[in-house]
Structure 1
Amino acid sequence: MSIRREITIGNARLILGDCREVLPELRGVADMLFCDVAYKLTTGGNAHQSMGGLFATENYNNDGLLMDVPPWHDLGGPFFRACKDNADAYIMTNDKNLFQAGAAFEGAGWKFHNLLVWDKIRATRNRWYMKNLEFTTYWWKGKADPLGINHCGSKQSFQLNAPKETAHPTEKPVALCEHYILNSTTQGDTVLDPMMGSGAAMVAAVQNGRHAIGIEINETWFEVACARVRKALA
């Protein structure tokens, strides 16, 4: 069964299920798509120090099994069909997945706008340059808006401290999601996040008068996202 559970909170529709099964039921619904796609992670490469907590060596062996990791080529087409004509898409990835993501989305019909950068300021330890950047591939479907984004002075790089404490291990800041949403939508538009995790993009959408559709495969994170959206609308 594709939709295991569905909750409506204000102008947010939150769905528990696998986006690969749910998205065929959501064709042409989104004015903008944001997704921090689940991908295999690395623990860093410092010779003398390593990451702790969830990603400590004793807890995480880099086999990708902390979360469901779908193949990139499974995503571009369903994401494309879930969006309206002329929609924008923001797909987050790291350096190691950048080329796979690009090939998969271009092959599905998306057109490439730009490569955006989140400068997290705080870096992850690594022997081959400390890592302080994450990447967002910015795409469009159909015809690009000749006027461009809403805030044309926005730069390719967005600098924002990575949060020290998060609900989800790969959670993105609400402010980063908001930056993209405000540039590619207007009030009343619909923002879709097919892998919403703990719901940062959903919070950013509803706080700015947008409709939100979020899908999450993990029930724990689904409950966290529901709670965050309720709090944002309280």
Structure 2
Amino acid sequence: MKIKRFAIGNIVLFQGDALAVLEKLQTNSLGAVITDPPYASSGSSSLTKAQPPSQKYQGLDVINKHPEFQGESRDQRSFAYWSSLWVSQCYRVVKTGSPICVFSDWRQLGVTTDYLQSGGFTFNGIVPWDKTESVRPAKGKFRAQAEYIAWGFKGKCYGDRHPVYLKGALRERVNPKEKLHMTGKPVAVMDHLVKVVPPGETILDPFMGSGSTGVAAIKSGHPFIGIEASEEYFEIAKKRLRAAYRDSLRENAQ
């Protein structure tokens, strides 16, 4: 896959395979990883794994259809191996003390905490994200109302250099009207996660999707590097982040 590059100010976006792009980034140069990778979830059989993401994550009654995305067809062993590869590259490119935050659902939470550590990071905990009662109920079952952020650091955390006190659990509704990706996360959730990053440090998102991490990074004044394999989502993110960057320039000029 040919790698495309787009830059505006301190925002750099790449369209291409995450591993191929990560290999080209400079060692010990970035300040954080905040990302929402494909979960390869929603079932363990070959039939369910082969389903397109739209059949797993969108109901038949969804009005706003979003483009498909890659990485959902891996079985558990290949998912863990592939994840260890990209996390290892992230470990290489960030500085000592850099935080990492990775989203997961309940099915992949165990393997997520494993590959975080196999890639070299110190695993420090889990932040539950309560999507509120707006999540569709399941008859006779508990709602699938929460997702999770596994987090840690490369070595020891920044500590005294960035003495913030952050929430250990988040509650934020997903607004379908604001989603630009079928598994997109609310910017309000990303706004809180980027607070763990010291001022001026560059945030890396190897699975940028529609660019929610980048929007939060721009709002908080952080440089941002985003990678996305899907050409459709890359174009959506590029347009969205270009607008967010220009908005930030106008706000800072006032």
TM-score normalised by length of structure 1 = 0.85
Give the 3-state SS of the residue equivalent to 2:145 in structure 1.
strand
Deviations 1:37-85 (A, max 9, x none): 1013439xxxxxxx999623699xxxxx852236233232122112111
Q: 1:190 — aligned with what?
A: 202
Tell whether 2:239 aligns with 1:227. yes
Distance 1:201 1:66, change over 3 A: closer
Amino acid at match of 1:171: G
User: Partners in 1 of 2:41 and 2:110 — Cα distance?
Assistant: 16
User: Partners in 1 of 2:201 and 2:161 — Cα distance?
Assistant: 17
Give the 3-state SS of the residue equivalent to 1:25 in structure 2.
coil
Q: How many residues end up aligned between the 2 structures?
A: 219
Q: 2:30 — aligned with what?
A: 30
Aligned pairs for 1:66-85 within 5 A: 66-69=69-72, 71-74=79-82, 75-85=86-96
**Structure 1 regions of 5+ residues with no counterpart?**
44-50, 60-64
Deviation at 1:151, TM superposition (A): 2.9
Distance 1:163 1:131, change over 3 A: same
Q: CA RMSD in A?
A: 2.5
Q: 1:17 — aligned with what?
A: 16
Tell whether 2:150 aligns with 1:159. no
Q: 2:159 — aligned with what?
A: 146
**Structure 2 regions of 5+ residues with no counterpart?**
44-53, 63-67, 247-254
Structure having the larger proportion of residues in strand? 1
Q: 2:59 — aligned with what?
A: 56
Give the 3-state SS of the residue equivalent to 1:226 in structure 2.
helix
Deviation at 1:161, TM superposition (A): 1.2
Q: 2:4 — aligned with what?
A: 5
Tell whether 2:182 aligns with 1:179. no
Give the 3-state SS of the residue equivalent to 1:138 in structure 2.
strand
Alignment identity in percent?
A: 26
Give the 3-state SS of the residue equivalent to 1:123 in structure 2.
coil
Deviations 1:148-184 (A, max 9, x none): 86431x2211111112221100111112111111222
User: Partners in 2 of 1:66 and 1:146 — Cα distance?
Assistant: 37
- 8 Å CA contact 2:35, 2:208 repeated in 1: yes
Distance 1:55 1:141, change over 3 A: same
Q: 1:48 — aligned with what?
A: none
Amino acid at match of 1:92: F
Amino acid at match of 1:67: Q
User: Partners in 2 of 1:148 and 1:73 — Cα distance?
Assistant: 34
Give the 3-state SS of the residue equivalent to 1:229 in structure 2.
helix
Within the candidate set 114, 120, 124, 2:125 is matched to: 114
Distance 1:124 1:78, change over 3 A: farther
Amino acid at match of 2:22: L
- 8 Å CA contact 2:209, 2:228 repeated in 1: yes
TM-score normalised by length of structure 2 = 0.78
- 8 Å CA contact 2:42, 2:56 repeated in 1: no
- 8 Å CA contact 1:9, 1:229 repeated in 2: no
Q: 2:48 — aligned with what?
A: none
Structure having the larger proportion of residues in helix? 2
- 8 Å CA contact 1:150, 1:182 repeated in 2: no
